């Protein structure tokens, strides 16, 4: 601060000046707190989980399908079956969600007009807002008997059931993001192609889809991340039994569902507790990487 005397005529520290300062400080705090929270969560999970180091046997954890942390005689922490459970459910979900959501996005962005388009967009957004426990409920009470009847299997809580449910859950978000990606393609491309005699579908296939492919990939990745991290619906619809699935009708257990179901019953600081946090670290890392990849891809679009 210099010691010059403030000239009241040009001293602009009035109400507007102070409120501007106050708001910038508040906004800064808001912005920084999001980052602090993420770092805080990461530190917390890591600290709770890293105590597991002394029980950590990589060969057992990544090589065994036996997840038996509560066994008195021989506690084992093999996560292979859980990883397989999550992967099979997410994989099936994507198999269902990707064609559906890309199809829906293409229809809404390129073919539907006026009111149809607006109604569809609202409907898709409403679907995205359905809580996951409701989806789980549908899996439990509607899909389960349906699968038992249709395929004549003893139990309908399985990879097929939870994959379908998860696919339907992920599809609306993927549709919305994919539609945004298609919208971002400049209209002058469509006009140019149409003037050259391209039909609607030719315009879509030869110009719009290639131009939007990064955004579409980002949409798919975010859907994968969503599927990966989903807990409640999978817990309810997958059967929650530890299994290396060999058919869509096998019950499985997912990583997320394991944490949700078991964490409440463990003693804080016990090896079981720490093992669950280790699963948390794994989930955190994978979803972080998926989101990062999606983000980098989207950034790539903006630049080029």
Contact call for residue 190 and another protein (CB under 8 A): yes
Nearer to another protein, 8 or 114 (CB): 114
Which residue has 């619809």 as its token pair?
Answer: 237
- The whole-angstrom separation of Cα 39 and Cα 95 is 34
Nearest to 85 by CA among 295, 283, 290, 302: 283
Among residues 196, 244, 285, 289, which is the contact residue for another protein, using CB under 8 A? 196
Q: Residue 57 interacts with another protein (CB under 8 A)?
A: no
Closer by beta carbon to another protein, 30 or else 114: 114
Tokens 């705090």 identify what position? 29
Q: Does 206 bind another protein (CB under 8 A)?
A: yes
Is residue 295 near another protein by the rule CB under 8 A?
A: no
Residue 159 and residue 89 in contact, taking contact as beta carbons nearer than 8 Å:
yes
21, two tokens:
């300062």
Q: Which stretch binds another protein (CB under 8 A): 45-53, 126-134, 148-156, 205-213?
A: 205-213
> What burial class does residue 152 get, using C-beta atoms within 10 Å of its C-beta: 0-12 exposed, 13-18 middle, 19+ buried?
exposed
Distance (Å, whole) CA 90 – CA 286: 13
Report in angstroms how near the CB of residue 202 gets to another protein at its nearest: 6
CB 96 within 8 A of CB 159: no
Minimum distance from residue 165 beta carbon to another protein (Å): 38
Query: Is 182 among the residues that bind another protein (CB under 8 A)?
Result: no
Using DSSP's 3-state secondary structure scheme, residue 78 falls into: coil
Q: Which lies closer to another protein via its Cβ, residue 20 or residue 191? A: 191
Restricting to residues 230-259, name those near another protein by CB under 8 A.
none
The counts of H helices and E strands in the chain are 14, 2
Q: Is 202 in the site for another protein (CB under 8 A)?
A: yes
**Contact status: 183 vs another protein (CB under 8 A):** no
Instruction: Determine the Cα–Cα distance for residues 237 and 255; give it in Å rounded to an integer.
Output: 14
- Judged by CB under 8 A, does residue 114 bind another protein? yes
Q: Which lies closer to another protein via its Cβ, residue 192 or residue 244?
A: 192
Q: Which of 20, 118, 125, 191 binds another protein (CB under 8 A)?
A: 191
Q: Name 164's Cβ contacts closer than 8 Å, sequence gap at least 6.
A: 92, 93, 96, 139, 143
* Closer residue to another protein, CB minimum distance, 66 or 117: 117
Residues sharing a CB contact under 8 Å with residue 259, sequence separation 6 or more, in sequence order:
231, 276, 279, 280, 283
Smallest distance, another protein to C-beta of residue 207, A? 6
Query: In the complex, what is the shortest distance from the CB of residue 197 to another protein, in angstroms, rounded to a whole number?
Result: 4
Contacting residue, 2, 74, 188, 247, with another protein by CB under 8 A: 188
Backbone angles phi, psi at 76, to 5 degrees: -125, 155
In the complex, the residues that contact another protein under the rule CB under 8 A are 113-114, 186, 188-199, 202, 206-207, 210-211
């Amino acid at each position: 601060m210099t010691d010059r005397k403030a000239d009241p005529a040009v001293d602009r520290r009035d109400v507007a000046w102070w409120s501007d300062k106050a708001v910038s400080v508040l906004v800064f705090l808001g912005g920084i707190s999001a980052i602090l929270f993420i770092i805080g969560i990461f530190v917390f999970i890591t600290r709770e989980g890293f105590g597991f180091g002394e029980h950590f046997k990589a060969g057992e954890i990544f090589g065994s399908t036996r997840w038996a942390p509560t066994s008195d005689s021989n506690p084992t922490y093999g996560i292979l079956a859980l990883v397989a459970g999550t992967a099979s459910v997410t994989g099936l979900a994507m198999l269902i969600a990707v064609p559906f959501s890309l199809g829906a996005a293409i229809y809404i962005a390129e073919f539907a007009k006026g009111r149809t388009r607006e109604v569809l967009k609202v409907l898709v957004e409403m679907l995205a807002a359905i809580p996951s426990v409701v989806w789980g409920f549908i899996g439990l009470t509607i899909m389960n008997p349906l699968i038992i009847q249709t395929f004549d299997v003893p139990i309908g809580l399985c990879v097929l059931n939870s994959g379908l449910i998860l696919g339907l859950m992920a599809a609306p978000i993927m549709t919305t993001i994919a539609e945004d990606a298609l919208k971002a393609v400049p209209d002058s491309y469509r006009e140019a192609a149409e003037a050259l005699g391209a039909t609607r579908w030719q315009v879509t296939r030869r110009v719009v889809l290639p131009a939007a492919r990064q955004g579409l990939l980002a949409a798919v990745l975010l859907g994968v991340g969503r599927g990966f991290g989903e807990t409640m619906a999978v817990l309810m619809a997958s059967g929650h039994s530890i299994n290396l699935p060999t058919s869509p009708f096998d019950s499985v257990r997912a990583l997320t569902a394991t944490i949700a179901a078991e964490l409440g019953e463990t003693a804080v600081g016990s090896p079981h507790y720490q093992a669950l946090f280790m699963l948390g670290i794994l989930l955190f890392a994978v979803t972080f990487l998926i989101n990062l990849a999606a983000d980098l891809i989207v950034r790539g679009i903006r630049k080029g």
